[in-house]
Structure 1
Amino acid sequence: FHDPQTVALARDAIRLRYRLLPYLYTLAWENSRTGMPLMRPLFFGDEADASLIERSDAYYWGDAFLVAPITDPGQMSKTVELPKGVWFDFWSDARHEGGQAASIAVSSATIPVLVRAGAFIPMVAPFAHTEQYTTERLELHYYADASVSSASGRMYDDDGHSRLAPDNGHNEVLEFSARQQDGGLTIELKREGGDYAGKPAVRQMELVVHGWKSAPQALSVDQQAVALGNESDWQSGKSAAWHDSASGQLHLRFPWAAQPIRVELR
């Protein structure tokens, strides 16, 4: 009942929703434990700023995302009054200083979606339906910025079926932390929780550090040096790490078992 372009756009949006399921599932878990809504008004981010109470042109989606809906047909850009802090365009990785207005490009495929500097975003590869959902292969995106010296995040996981999993300990919480100082970055990961059906014994991780403009001089996982390869080596699996100078993204693959793990960039 729709033209091919609309079908393609809808398909891409659904795929993104599935890719973000680790983040969304964590928001749902937090809502069940604390009552914190998934969609949050802007004054939740700065209760001292009374002007935010009247803002209805944008909202937070969890702690990490800022979304500004498009309500006028044919709109090609939108001016967004950004909250304090540093924000990255989710689609382009463009960096924006908060506390001021920013003009964000709009297309048929994208609306203004920004990520807070210091945010961790867990994602998975696309899949067809939720019965196929697994976190055995996990992408962890971290949005680094010199303005954020320390940050933390977490991800909730369970079997996806047991309603009382959190109460019975049949779940897992992945804890993420980052420290940035003296031109370096340290990211630590740890796992806490019990057993459940489908719990990965080892997760195959892809860490993506956004906002890292220069290739690191030294890169290590648990004090084991990792050599940077080129894009071709990365795509073929010959290299465990690659820095994309055009986007300012560092990509790193490593296995993560039960023990805490530390990644260091210098």
Structure 2
Amino acid sequence: MMRAMVLDYQDDPNARQAEFQYTLGPDLLIAPIYQESNRDDLTATRSLYLPEGTWWDFWTDERRTGRQTLAVEAPIDSLPLLVRGGAILVYGEPVRRASQPQNRLELHLYAGGNGTLDYYEDDGRTQAYRTGERAITSFHLEDTGEGLSLNISPTNGTFNGQSAELDLTLVVHGMPKARSATINGQSVPLRPFDGKPSLAIIHPRNTTLQITIR
């Protein structure tokens, strides 16, 4: 949901003045370009206020510190987009209709904070969710200072056509030198994913997984 900055950061007087930017959900900050560029390459420049916390440039993974106003550039094919440290962003596969299952997911984990995600599912076809045929899988991310800790809870709920497991790829942002990972105490390899550390896992829906990345 799009929200004015002041609604999410009511105790920050600078957020009250940030009229031409907004949050999208709890983890994304967007600053639209509203003035024409006078440069030949059409790159625009605008000011952007970051509230408290750690923020990451969505396009470059550059780390930014909150409580400051920045001058940021925006090429013609992108706009200033920041991700909160501690965010878990979900990427699904392209589908042609809502009833196609989304069992293979990318979870993009951003260092520099803590966050939670409740992944909701239903059959995508009927209104059976109104009578309780739906499921939620909860993820909790914590930056421990030494690395990231991700807890995946057992899926709560069932629906017609539900898979027995989730096929997950964890992509780590803000930790380019991460070298090790464990799942429930067992060492597992990290692999590169677009230049970032990543980890492929299977989550049986009836189990808890505790993942560490360092």
- Taking a change above 3 Å as real, the CA distance of residues 184 and 53 of structure 1, as seen in their structure-2 partners, is closer
SS of the residue corresponding to residue 193 of structure 1 reads coil
In the alignment, residue 95 of structure 1 is paired with which amino acid? R
Distance change in 2, residues 1:47/1:193 (3 Å): same
Partner residue of 2:45 out of 62, 77, 93: 77
Q: Distance between the aligned counterparts of 1:207 and 1:168, measured in 2?
A: 32
TM-fit CA distance, 1:54? 4.3
Of 49, 52, 66, which residue of structure 1 is paired with 2:12? 49
Partner of 2:116: 152
Contact 1:215 1:243 in 2 (8 A): no
- TM-score, with structure 1 as normaliser: 0.71
Cα distance change on mapping 1:197 and 1:103 into 2, 3 Å: farther
**Contact 1:96-1:102 at 8 Å conserved across structures:** no
Number of aligned positions between the proteins: 208
Deviation of 1:51 after TM superposition, in Å, equals 4.5
Question: CA offsets per residue over residues 29-55 of structure 1, 9 Å max, x none?
Answer: xxxxxxxxx111101222123453343
Equivalent position of 1:262 in the other structure: 210
Query: What is the CA–CA distance in structure 2 between the aligned matches of 1:137 and 1:108, rounded to whole Å?
Result: 32
Q: Tell me, yes or no, if structure 1 residue 202 matches structure 2 residue 165.
A: yes
Matched residues in 2 for 1:138 and 1:178: separation?
Answer: 16
Aligned to 1:224: 186
Distance verdict in 2 for CA 1:182–1:55, change over 3 Å = closer
Q: Partners of 1:110 and 1:126 in 2: how far apart?
A: 21
Structure 2 alignment gaps of length 5 or more: 38-42
3-state secondary structure, aligned to 1:159: coil
Structure 2 counterpart of 1:91: 59
SS across alignment from 2:138: strand
Judge conservation of contact 2:12–2:51 (CA < 8 Å) in 1.
no
Alignment-mate amino acid for residue 154 of structure 1: D
Query: Secondary structure of 1:142's match?
Result: strand
| 2:98–2:125 contact (8 Å) kept in structure 1 | no
2:155 is paired with a residue whose SS is: strand
Alpha-carbon distance between aligned partners in 1 of 2:77 and 2:100, rounded to the nearest angstrom: 25
Report the Cα distance in structure 2 between the residues aligned to 1:206 and 1:140, rounded to whole angstroms. 6
Would you say 1:102 and 2:70 are equivalent positions? Answer: yes
Query: Which string of whole-angstrom CA distances, capped at 9 and with x for unpartnered residues, describes residues 126-146 of structure 1?
Result: 34x33464321011111012x
User: Of 85, 99, 108, which aligns to 1:117?
Assistant: 85
Alpha-carbon distance in 2 for matches of 1:132, 1:78: 41
- Answer whether contact 1:69 1:112 (CA < 8 A) is retained: yes
The share of aligned pairs that are identical, in percent, is 26
Partner of 1:179: 142
For the aligned residue pairs, the C-alpha RMSD in angstroms reads 2.1
1:161 to partner: Cα distance: 3.2
Q: Which structure has more strand as a fraction of its residues? A: 2
Partner deviation per Cα, 1:148-177 (whole Å, 9 max, x = no partner) = 3x4322222212233461x42211112111
The structural deviation recorded for 1:124 is 1.1
> What CA deviation, in whole Å up to 9, does each residue of 1:184-209 have, x standing for no partner?
32211113332213322111110011
